[in-house]
Amino acid sequence: MASSQPREWTGLQQFPVATQNALHTLLGKLRNEDVKSLTVLVLGKGGVGKSSTVNSLVGERVAVVSAFQSETMRTVLCSRVRAGFTLNIIDTPGLVEGLFVNDHALDTIRRSLLNKTIDVMIYVDRLDGYRVDNLDRQVVRAIARSFGPQIWKVGMVALTHAQLSPPDGISYADFVARRSAALLETIQKEVGFKKGDPEIPVALIENSGRCSTNSGGEKVLPDGTVWLPKLVEHIVDIATSSVPAVPIDKKLIDGPNANKRGKMFVPIIFLLQYLLVIKPMQMLIKYDMHNESENGPPWEKLSKRETEVAEK
């Protein structure tokens, strides 16, 4: 994994004053909870705006974004330090190649994270997608399979390209609600969420320069939301919740030991073989031996009949 050395988080100073104040307040919440570092994993299909979102969060260009290259080609770790707090953001390659999930990319990402602990996972998709298809379901399942279903319990959804005009007859709020509900329903169904599991928050993002701004120069969405502090608020809420972070250890990467798992069933198999095969055979042999001892063997009976016939 390509990584940058921890540097001072100077990008914070590039934000408008109101945004800086909001972010400092949120960082203060982490400090009050004695959270000294935070590791955020960014996942999603290619071309949905993962790298741009990383850049927006940090306040500087740390991930390469190109109109001719829709995604980063490798896992990249960006670390920034501010007042004793360390933010680690991990940008990743797209999870789809062609029309299929790129299992090799997922495996590469997972192995590059060995011995790290994921506090928050951001699943990035586009707001201007009009339906959830089978490929979306495959990606959701693949993430749960690679990192364990627990990764979705520290997860949130970030919908990019949020500066849009909905189709005629649909309000912005209604369009966002429908898009969010469809994606969340798919995630909860595919991962197997149960009653009582944490709700997955949704944040709207507009990384492009065409995003509207308010009088203080902060980037706002069509509904008036200042989106960057809202995104960070969701991240902080997940990090300070009671849901445990997800460690990426060797067991997760290599999977359970198949040989050890099989050895557990050996005594049971032997017992079943004894009860269902060996024991019935022993009983049959004893039964035959008992019959022979009382009546004599079958060849002896035949010999007696032949003798009686000959005497007559």
Q: DSSP string covering 104-124, please?
A: HHHHHHHHHTTTEEESEEEEE
**Domain match, 63 and 176 both:** yes
Q: Does an H or E element contain 213, and which?
A: strand 212-213
**Domain match, 213 and 76 both:** yes
- Does the annotation place 24 within a ligand binding site? no
Residue that finishes a domain, picked among 239, 255, 271: 255
- Does the annotation place 66 within a ligand binding site? yes
- The pLDDT tens digits of the residues spanning 247-261 come to 999 988 887 654 555
CA dihedral 190, 195, 196, 199 (to 10 degrees): 50
Host domain of residue 305 = 260-311
Q: Which amino acid is at 107?
A: D
**Domain match, 194 and 304 both:** no
- Does the annotation place 49 within a ligand binding site? yes
Would the pLDDT of 299 be above 80? no
**Domain match, 93 and 241 both:** yes
**Domain match, 184 and 47 both:** yes
**Domain match, 233 and 283 both:** no
- Does the annotation place 50 within a ligand binding site? yes
**Domain match, 170 and 300 both:** no
| Position 92 confidence tier, pLDDT thresholds 50, 70, 90 | very high
> What gap in Å lies between CA 82 and CA 35, rounded to an integer?
13
How large is the angle between the packed helices 227-239 and 50-58, nearest 10 degrees? 90
Mean pLDDT of the chain: 87
| Position 14 confidence tier, pLDDT thresholds 50, 70, 90 | very high
- The pLDDT tens digits of the residues spanning 35-58 come to 999 999 999 999 999 999 999 999
Number of domains in the chain: 2
Point out the least confidently predicted range of 88-97, 151-160, 302-311: 302-311
- Does the annotation place 161 within a ligand binding site? yes
**Domain match, 155 and 294 both:** no
- Does the annotation place 70 within a ligand binding site? yes
How large is the greatest C-alpha to C-alpha distance in the chain, in angstroms?
130
What pLDDT sits at residue 66?
54
**Domain match, 35 and 50 both:** yes
**Domain match, 35 and 113 both:** yes
What pLDDT sits at residue 306?
54
Work out the average pLDDT over 230-242. Answer: 97
Residue that finishes a domain, picked among 216, 232, 255: 255
What pLDDT sits at residue 258?
45
Would the pLDDT of 211 be above 90? yes
- Does the annotation place 115 within a ligand binding site? no
Work out the average pLDDT over 133-137. Answer: 95
Residue that finishes a domain, picked among 212, 228, 255: 255
Token output for 8: 């001072």
Report the CATH number that the domain containing residue 240 is assigned in CATH: 3.40.50.300
What pLDDT sits at residue 309?
53
Helices (H), the chain: 17-32, 50-58, 103-112, 134-147, 150-153, 172-191, 227-239, 250-254, 258-263, 266-273, 279-295, 298-311
Do residues 56 and 136 lie in contact, with contact meaning Cβ atoms separated by under 8 Å? no
More confident residue, 309 or 266: 266
**Domain match, 7 and 37 both:** yes
Query: What is the pTM (predicted TM-score) of this model?
Result: 0.81
Candidates 148, 127, 122, 135; CA nearest to 201 is: 122
**Domain match, 199 and 284 both:** no
